[in-house]
Structure 1
Amino acid sequence: MFKRILVATDGSPLAKKAVASAIALASQNGAELVAVTVVPRYPTNYFDGAAVFTPEDIGRIEKQWSEAAQASLDEIAKQAEASGVKVKTSTVSADLVGDAIIAAAKKHDSDTIVMASHGRKGIKRLLLGSETQHVLTHSDLPVLVLR
């Protein structure tokens, strides 16, 4: 049914459950897994007036975020390979996480996207937004959302 499944992860406990489900789905279908983490760009205007960060500071912070993302993806690769699933990993740096997930799915010619819903409600959802909702409403691909 599926040839290539993209799983989006932020490394959270809920995302780890989605990863486990995506690995199982890939294994059952003989599909390849593409694990993607989107690392946000450092919000340079977020701290205007509160603190001064040099380009070196920002570069160091972004490097730490990328290294943490890669460590998470390396763990996913080990889990997938242990289940006999062929896996590719990708770290994407972007301001718009949902758009980056959709673009990665297209780039890797994925059949479906698997991701977690963090279940934010009310004001938290309004303030923090929902990347899952964005992917659901903007992707042409089927999206499997796990809670």
Structure 2
Amino acid sequence: MYQRILVTTDGTKLSKKAVGHALELAKLCGCQLVALKVVPRYPQSYFEGGIALAAEDISRIEAHWAHEGQMVVDAIAKLGAKKGVQVKPLTVRGDVVSDAVLATVDKLGCDLVIMASHGRRGIKRLLLGSETQQVLTHSEVPVLVLK
């Protein structure tokens, strides 16, 4: 059915639920699972009244975030190995999570995306946005959303 499933994670309890479902589905299908963590770039806005950081400090912070992200997806790969699922752990840098997810789907030829959603409504949704909604709206492959 599926050849390559992409699951997004941010390491939270909710995204771990999505990872668990993705591992089980990949095992049932006998396909590869891509575990994706989108790592943000350090915001460099000088209009917030904060002190600008030195380039070395920004590089150090971004490297730390990338390392933490890699640890999250590596843990999924280890869990997949225990379950007999081939997992490709992947971190990508991006300012907009949904854009990074969609670009990765296209680049790797994934045929299903699995994501978690908090299911926010009203003002919280307006203020916080929904990366899952953006992926649902713009994806050319099926998207499975778990709550």
Bin of the TM-score, shorter chain as denominator length? over 0.9
Correspondence for 1:57: 57
8 Å contact kept, 2:35–2:90:
yes
Correspondence for 1:111: 111
Q: 3-state SS of the aligned residue for 1:113? A: strand
Give 1:65's aligned amino acid.
W
Which string of whole-angstrom CA distances, capped at 9 and with x for unpartnered residues, describes residues 7-64 of structure 1? 0111111000000000000000101101111011111016642222111111111111
Q: 3-state SS of the aligned residue for 2:34? A: strand
Which string of whole-angstrom CA distances, capped at 9 and with x for unpartnered residues, describes residues 86-141 of structure 1? 11111000111101101111111111000100222222211111000000000001
Unaligned residue ranges in structure 2 (runs of 5+): none
RMSD: 1.1
Correspondence for 1:7: 7
Alignment of 1:13-52 (within 5 A): 13-45=13-45, 48-52=48-52
Correspondence for 1:73: 73
Q: Give distance in 2, aligned partners of 1:129 and 1:87.
A: 29
Distance 1:47 1:88, change over 3 A: farther
Correspondence for 2:87: 87
Percent identity between the aligned chains?
A: 56
Across the two proteins, how many residue pairs are aligned to each other? 147
Unaligned residue ranges in structure 1 (runs of 5+): none
Give 2:55's aligned amino acid.
P
Which has the higher mean CA deviation after the structures are superposed, 91-100 or 42-51? 42-51
TM-score by length of 2: 0.96
TM-score by length of 1: 0.96
